[in-house]
Amino acid sequence: MRKEQFMNAYHFTFCGTICHALPSGALYLPEHSVLCVSDLHLGKSDRIARRSGIMLPPYEVQETLQKLESDIGATAPDCVICLGDSFDDLDAAASLAEDMRLWLTRLQAGKRWVWIEGNHDPGPVDLGGTHLNEVQVAKLTLRHIATGARDEISGHYHPKHRVTGRSRPAFLYDQERLIMPAYGAYTGGLSSQSADLRRLFSEPLIAIMTGHKAIPVPVR
């Protein structure tokens, strides 16, 4: 990992596995050379325009892929796992601009690439890689929606945490499970204090806030 990303990441051990939470919202597992990202929601502006006629600036795919390219360059993973809702719907995946498709192809080159099934993109996409419901990395199970099982990494909820009036996308984890923040540029978030999230965790619960630097704070 590049020195700047290493210094700004938060390094911790989860369920016996060394983890680096990157400021971008990606998770790197150095022992396994795996980079995980969740909830890219590529094509959200396309989906909103298609369903409502509301036009948003069409730069979210480019912004998200730029961030992903930077994290791949910094960590040089053998495997990239996208934990579901990589596309805002299957039509968004099919209508991805050709230059963005080529960009994804370049990012995939020489790597194992896994698309985990999400509730927004339940079917396989014609964009290279492997489409799975879940994947195992050592003792960890990676899936889109948390089941409450032990040794689990998931996404879906887009957790955010607020400190001194500022809310940021955040990883949430306790001793048994970890939920990743949304990685995509056009994604909202769910408060770490919400009942839907709190019911999944026990104490102590830690939020790792993203931004310029990944910073762990207790959730009280």
What is the residue range of 158's domain? 3-219
pTM metric for this prediction: 0.92
pLDDT in tens, 117-149: 998 777 778 889 999 999 999 999 999 999 999
CATH of residue 82's domain is: 3.60.21
Cis link prior to 204 (omega < 30° from 0)? yes
CB 129 within 8 A of CB 113: yes
How many domains, the chain?
1
Burial 145-160 (b: 16+ CB within 10 A, else e): bbeeeebbbbbbbbbb
CB 152 within 8 A of CB 173: no
For residue 133, the SS3 value is coil
Tokens of 16: 């016996």
In whole angstroms, what is the distance from residue 9 CA to residue 1 CA? 10
pLDDT in tens, 30-77: 999 999 999 998 875 554 444 544 445 567 888 999 999 999 999 999
